[in-house]
Amino acid sequence: MTDTSSTNIPISPRQAMIRRALRHKGLIFGTVVMAVVILIAIFAPLLTEYDPYKQNLLTRMKPPVLLGGDPDHWLGTDALGRDYWARLAYGARVSLTIGIVAAVISATIGCTLGILAGYFGGRVDAVVTFLINVRLAMPVVLVALAVVALLGGSLIVVISVLGLLLWDRFAVVLRSATMQVRSLEYIAAAEVLGASLPRILVKDILPNVMNHLIVIFTLEMAHAIILEAALSFLGLGVQPPTPSWGLMISEGKEMLLFESWLITIPGVALFFLVLAINMMGDGIRDVTAPEGRN
């Protein structure tokens, strides 16, 4: 009388997820663009022989090949004669580093606070909710501007400031997700089976709120990249001569009317990166929680 399963064995949740992922066009687009940008960032030295810092005033303001420029510099050169493709490729490193590291810092802070608040409720929840409210009351751009202005702009300062400012959404979402999971019976069962608190949090809560975490992670990563560009544009982010897409836009703004490609190229790159990250986030949400899709 052994209960054997029927012939069509249902697939595991992971297999089902992979199947949905392969059918999701937005997710595939986002992932491909992201992968391309990451590869460019990693292999930048192999993709261009030019040094992004090396100035050459004899070859300044060359337009890209498409606009009739010099084939040696296929994306042209900037006002100081630096190769624009080299700066774009190395700039991807800055944008991605800022996006990923700032999101990791935020995720760590927000996740910890959110899960603790959701799991314990009561006073812990009250304190965390207060912290979230305090954080939400601060305008991110203004605070970032102020801090960077005080401490001086550098990659590390920008990353830490953004990392310390973007955890609110993680905390809010994970708090409510954890509350939901916490009320389920498998948590009670684990408690009754003598599981320690850290074990319950890591083994039972975290995997079941992971999909929310990944989605917010992508959103905040895009957010951080945009904020870095904005700070750099205002001259308070990464300092020249570091190649950064925001800085490139900022440096190109004086030429906006005459050499518009100086702004268009990093602008388009930024647009596609952020779009790709967001589409990836949406895709992951659809794929991991298909019931939430409308």
Partner 1 sequence: MSDPILSIRNLTVDLPKGGDRQYAVEQLSLEVAPREIVCIVGESGSGKSITSFATMGLLPKVLTPSTGEIRFGGQDLLALPASEHAKLRGSQMAMVFQEPMSALNPCYTVGTQIEEMFETHTELAKSERKARVMKLLEEVHLPDPARVYASYPHQLSGGQRQRIVIAMALALDPKLLIADEPTTALDLSTQAQILHLFKELREHHDAGIMFVTHDFDVVAEIADRVIVMQHGRIVEEGSAEEVLNRPKHPYTRLLIDAVPRRSRDARGAPAEDVLLSVNALNKIYHIPGNMFKQARDVHACKDINFSVRKGETLGIVGESGSGKSTLVKCLIRLEDPNSGEVLINGTDLASCSRKELHPYRKMIQIVFQDPYGSLNPRRTIGDQLIEGPVNFGADRAKSMERAKELMRIVRLDPDALNRYPNQFSGGQRQRICIARALMVEPKVLIADEAVSALDVSVQKEVLKLLNEIRDTLGLTVLFITHDLRVAAQVCDNLIVMQKGEIVERGNVEQVFGAPSSDYTKMLLDAQPGKDWDVPDISTLPPVAV
Binding site for partner 1 (CB under 8 A): 1-5, 8-13, 184-186, 188-196, 199, 203-204, 207-208, 210
Tell the smallest beta-carbon distance from residue 21 to partner 1 (Å): 17
| Other beta carbons less than 10 A from residue 197's beta carbon | 10
Contact 215, 284 (CB under 8 A): yes
Shortest CB 118 distance to partner 1, Å:
16
Q: Which is nearer to partner 1, 17 or 65 (CB)?
A: 17
CB of 16 to partner 1, least distance (A): 8
User: Residue 287 Cβ, how far from partner 1 at the closest point, in Å?
Assistant: 15
141 or 197: CB nearest partner 1: 197
Nearer to partner 1, 9 or 142 (CB): 9
Nearer to partner 1, 1 or 137 (CB): 1
Q: Please report how close the Cβ of residue 2 comes to partner 1 at its closest, in angstroms.
A: 6
Exposed / middle / buried, residue 193 (Cβ in 10 Å: 0-12, 13-18, 19+): exposed
Count CB neighbours of 198 within 10 A.
8
Reported as half-sphere exposure (CB side, CA atoms, 13 A), residue 274 has a value of 19
8 A C-beta contact, residue 52 and residue 87: yes
Dihedral sign from CA coordinates of 212, 214, 219, 221: positive
In sequence order, the β-bridge partners of residue 77 are: 83
Return the number of the residue (14 or 58) whose C-beta is nearest partner 1.
14
